[in-house]
Amino acid sequence: MINVGIVGYGNLGKGVCLAVEKAQDLNCVGIFTRREPSAIKPIINVPVYKTEDLQNFKEKIDVLILCGGSATDLPTTTKEYLKDFNTVDSFDTHAKIPEYKKELEEIANKYGHLSAISIGWDPGLFSIARMLFGALLPSGNDYTFWGKGVSQGHSDAIRRIDGVKNAIQYTIPKEEAINSVRNGENKPLTARQKHLRECFVVAKDGADKERIEAEIKNMPNYFSDYDTVVHFITEEELLKNHSKLAHGGFVMRSGETTTENKHLLELSIKLDSNPEFTGSVLTAYARAVAKLSKEGKTGVVTVFDVPIKYLSSLAEEDLVKGLL
């Protein structure tokens, strides 16, 4: 039995709870929160503690699953927890991963722990596809498409505009771009050519909608490089029609082995619940971290380092017999 602790109880923490409960080889020791524990009613039957209580669990937890956010939580908290525990996290600020990895490596090696970072579907499953496809088909290009799904960061950016009461932003891959890749056209595609950004905005009473729409469409980094569509709706409509956490996407590699022979490799995912699937991925990697740590491995690993057999609850012989 592998004992896990779950740190943080937002949407992702709930997803991890569901996945851990389904896994017969995993036991959830507790949920650890910065909130008042009594305020939390977990969806599974498991005790809730304050994060300060973690010091009493050093010998009782094989791996901590960190369910905080990449922007503020993980960069500071992972370093602290890694001193006392093995960890898994979903750090997803792509540009900062090398630096984050390096910082954690020092701590992991010093304290003899193992940390799996940037686990989820992107980074995570999609990274596996990009790396694997590129190694198996070196002459070619890869394309990642996200969506249709809610982009939390972009939704937040709209909500910060003056006069906006609430907003949801969907990233939508463009059919013509997907088809171009599938047809082996192998051409470079700009951000604008690959994705559409669709925004559903609730304006405050009396707010200037034209100004809000212009501010969204011209927002640098977030929207100005994309075709952006803005719809103004009521708060009721937003809550009724735009509360789902569905997401998905594609990784494609189009390449050739000779000029005549072209090949297309494609991974696609369609998720009803982004946090529940991400939680399931984190849970599989928590299993891997516990097993690898038991074998004596320390340091920091990503999806590129972990042999996939460690993710399964099945015995190696059964994997070879049933799935190879």
Residue ranges that bind a second copy, judged by CB under 8 A: 15, 18-19, 22-23, 94, 97-98, 101, 118, 123, 125, 127-132, 134-139, 256-258, 260-273, 276-277, 279-281, 284, 302-309, 311-313, 316-317, 319-321, 323-324
- Identify the burial level of 113 via C-beta atoms within 10 angstroms of its C-beta, where 0-12 means exposed, 13-18 middle and 19 or more buried: buried
| Residue 202 or 300 with smaller CB distance to a second copy | 300
Nearer to a second copy by Cβ, of 148 and 309: the residue is 309
In angstroms, give the least distance from the CB of 19 to a second copy: 7
Strand-strand pairing, 114-116 and 299-301 = parallel
- Compare residues 218 and 304 and give the one whose CB is closer to a second copy: 304
Shortest separation between residue 249's beta carbon and a second copy, angstroms? 11
* 51 vs 127 by CB, closer to a second copy: 127
- Between CA 125 and CA 122 the distance in angstroms is 6
Q: Which residues pair with 49 in a beta bridge?
A: 32
Distance in Å, CB of 231 to a second copy, minimum: 26
Query: Cβ 28 to a second copy, closest distance in Å?
Result: 16
Distance CA 158, CA 202 (A): 10
Using the minimum distance from each CB to a second copy, give the nearer residue, 166 or 302.
302
- Residue 126 CA, chain-centre distance (Å), reads 10
The nearer residue to a second copy, 107 or 137, going by C-beta atoms, is 137
* Min dist. Cβ of residue 20 to a second copy (A): 11
Q: Provide, rounded to whole angstroms, the least separation between the CB of residue 248 and a second copy.
A: 8
Q: Which residues contact 171 (CB under 8 A, 6 or more apart)?
A: 146, 147, 148, 149, 150, 151, 154, 195, 196, 197
Which residues, 6+ apart, have CB-to-CB distance to 7 below 8 Å? 13, 31, 32, 33, 51, 54, 64, 65, 66, 67, 68, 77, 81
CB of 266 to a second copy, least distance (A): 5
- The smaller minimum CB distance to a second copy, of residues 16 and 177, is found at 16
Pairing mode, strands 195-203 and 227-232 = parallel
Encoded amino acid at 167, one letter: A
Q: Using CA atoms, how far apart are residues 281 and 161, in angstroms rounded to an integer?
A: 34
In the block, tokens 């960190």 appear at 66
31 membership: H or E segment, kind and range: strand 26-33
